[in-house]
Amino acid sequence: MREDVIVEGFVTPPHPKGIVLTGAQVRLEPLDADKHGADLHRANSLDTSGTDWVYLPYGPFDSLDDYQHWINSVACGDDPVFFAIITLSDCRAVGVASFLRINPASGSIEVGHIHYSPLLKRTRAASEAMYLMMRWVFENGYRRYEWKCNALNAKSRAAAGRLGFSFEGVFRQADIVKGRNRNTAWFATIDSEWPLLRRCFEAYLSDENFDENHRPRQSLSALTKPGLYKPDSGEFS
């Protein structure tokens, strides 16, 4: 893989502020405290252990007021750009995700601040939400799409690989979160990998891939694994 190529024909991509993404299962729309706060807080409260918040720099939120205050503190900015994830079957907000570290000049953008309530976790809709965000990124001209997480967060690391993000390394002592050291694991996928990933997502999300009990016949990780990049070898797995 050549790394010194001249970038030709690059056009600065648009900023994602204000966009709405709609699929077959979910719609992602700008996060709003009044519109989405109550649904999200109610869905989040189903996680009685609070473990879903361990690796996030905020939460859990004991009251709806506290949660709406947090939403108001982040929803109006240009980076991160937060979305509520709405299930189309019942029009309820059941999760949150964002674009962040948005750098149109270099064509780089990250997905993060992902918080899925128990109503969204491990569902077809959850995978579609990530597909819609990735599709928007690459179809609008971004070159690089990043995923970063606490290096101790095994679930997030597994999710990154499942979604087609390739591991690129660990930044040691990158941050302090809730008083604890954070080593940050870096993952990314790039525009040349998108055509294969799009086919993987489309195959996984298709009606034919799900049985009568809504279980996938073929996992997304099995589809994406052959395309993951190995930085040490310069080759794909």
pLDDT digits 0-9 by tens, 6-63: 899 999 999 999 999 999 999 999 999 999 999 999 999 999 888 889 999 999 999 9
16 within a domain of the structure (yes/no): no
Give the integer Cα–Cα distance in Å for 214 and 14.
36
Q: What is the pLDDT of residue 4?
A: 77
Q: Work out the angle at residue 83's Cα, subtended by the Cα atoms of residues 15 and 209, and round it to the nearest 5 degrees.
A: 105
Residues in a beta bridge with 26 = 87
Q: How far apart are CA 224 and CA 4, in angstroms?
A: 27
Number of domains in the chain: 1
For the stretch 136-173, pLDDT in tens is 999 999 999 999 999 999 999 999 999 999 999 999 99
Q: Tell me, yes or no, whether 1 lies in a domain.
A: no
Mean pLDDT of 187-213: 96
Q: Is residue 154 part of a domain?
A: yes
Range of the domain at 99: 21-236
Q: What's the CATH code of the domain at 39?
A: 3.40.630.30
User: Quick check: 237 pLDDT over 60?
Assistant: no
Does residue 10 belong to any structural domain of this protein? no
pLDDT given at position 142: 98
Q: Please indicate, yes or no, if residue 8 is contained in any of the structural domains.
A: no
Calculate mean pLDDT across residues 216-226: 95
Vertex 178: Cα angle to 175 and 180 (nearest 5): 55
- 216 inside domain: yes
Distance CA 16, CA 128 (A): 18
Examine the pLDDT at 230 and tell me if it is beyond 80: no
Q: Is 139 left (phi over 0), alpha (psi -120 to 50) or beta?
A: alpha
Average pLDDT for 89-109: 98
In a domain, residue 14? The reply is no
In a domain, 7, yes or no: no
Confidence (pLDDT) at 128: 98
SS3 5: coil
Per-residue pLDDT, 93 = 98
* Residue count of the chain: 237
Quick one: pLDDT at residue 48?
A: 87
Query: How confident is the model over 108-123, as pLDDT tens digits?
Result: 999 999 999 999 999 9
Concatenating the DSSP letter of every residue in 113-160 gives EEEE-TTTTTSHHHHHHHHHHHHHHHHTT-SEEEEEEETT-HHHHHHH
**For 164, how many CA atoms within 13 A lie in the half-sphere containing its CB?**
26
pLDDT, averaged across the chain: 94
